[in-house]
Structure 1
């Protein structure tokens, strides 16, 4: 009953006072939010492999009313997963935007914890972008449309939602595509709320995905909206290039996408980064996206644009993009990195001091979780609030 009460409490705050005079009223008014396990088993053919959408995801599930849904199943082996489950339900009940995936309900019967979403037939962005057979379906106009849609979704989370939300796991596999290939940000299991006027916090529990994590967060635990901005920058470079942020099959010069993009930019050859599979593209828009990606990935947190500025850069024909500085080094397990950047030092009084220094970080000492698509994973969601 704890989970039910927690969710109903969130619903009480979401509904108007007249509709929420009592917990019973809330439960009655929102009874369709809670799905029965038996109903979901029938809809997904008992979670058949034929209905599997990545790790932990199943769909389409056909409900008795003809509606298609996607079911995200929490791993029963996850010791802390109930926190992530509750966190994601509470967040998604409070946010609504055309570039965010829509939560339809949840299931909390016995050991099973599940989220029920709208079903998006085109799966996730990585399914198209990194597959040679599928990538031609993403022509340049669609890619630019996807970049702008993700930016609008993040702008909503950072500036327009009831409370500021940092996603913490922006990546290709967490961008779902609808029937028109419009993007929807998904998987809020790691998201953090920033109530009031808080702009950042320091955390010792680092959660995210290698290659997308901002260096100040991966190394120092400094979390802010600029953490998402960095991830967005990496994602934009992936969309333009049609390749993953790290490809071990490429030579050392090209293996790391961010560093390779920076070297091309310095050599005034940025457009060499554009996916060769594209028959044609707008050189101006591609150049804007590459420069914007590098601006978002700058080592200096203060110099990265916020999502409001990013949205303006993408939507305005007269906006002149500033020249980006050197990108931050997103740490990888087993790799020592040296980067001159804006750093953050934890003082004995608990405050955070900003310092410009050359930081040598042993990235193997940082606690980092690698999360698979459609999984709900652990993070300390109460820490730092």
Structure 2
């Protein structure tokens, strides 16, 4: 296998796993919605709000918060590993190949945020709610792509994964900036020291989990105590993980960890988060509330319209000014279908909705995320199937 083929093979394996993860995520979301819209709602709420953990370490959190702050750190660790590996040894190590998804991700963050801000302008909460539609859900988006786009060039899969990881990283930065209420300097220093120790052990080629697991847990606790959203710990640790393998190694630490943790991320961490985050009312009255609430409406328009305009518009400008090139074997129409899929916000959008808002406003915002993600995934599925047929006909000479 050549160097150019190797990243594509790795992405194919990742996509196959994400298809399964997407199905599990969808099932968890369905369970959450059924429980939240049935006589079991009180039981569901009681479990989600039940507190557990040591109060002495300021870790007496609700079950929902443990899913949001703890389990999602695993998800972001895996995403961070993928991002670093692609930047160092994968598709994104080539400047022009890397630039297109990065530019597209920026466009796909800025335009939805502007739309959400414009629609919700003047309403309480908009100063933080504008960040809700900025992210693309990796698990759902790749699951839909893998199911519907078998005839499309593999470069589009690389493009979508790169875009999703980059804009999720941007969303993480927004979370750190917007939702850090109180900053504990001593805890932050402890987190930096633990991260430095982690990096040193990576440099010294130490591989034992007996050191790395306590360091990772300690980093998470320190970041949480610092007042920064604890998922940042996952990204920071991932970006310090070594991605080039030594001659005596079968695979690099980043790839080894990704293979081991990705099933836990897609099969447990993200679905459990969805189980406790997606339980919102979705009846006729709730849906009317989405369209009557400017903040929720801004989220829907930001994801469904803003993502397409931002991703496709930024990509077209980058190609027009010769800063980047279209993905290999693909053109603007193919990218347009993928851009629609970028409107599947889900995991990170639900997280930001929980952090940015509360009460009935948060419920409507989360319902808006679910509605927009459903619309985007269905539209994208139709477009991707059509583009797949076009490519298959072209390949067969038809």
Q: Which band: TM-score by shorter chain?
A: under 0.3
Would you tell me which structure has more strand in proportion to its own residues? 1
**More relative contact order in 1 or in 2 (CA 8 Å, sep 6+)?**
2
| TM-score of the aligned structures, taking structure 2 as reference length | 0.24
| TM-score of the aligned structures, taking structure 1 as reference length | 0.25
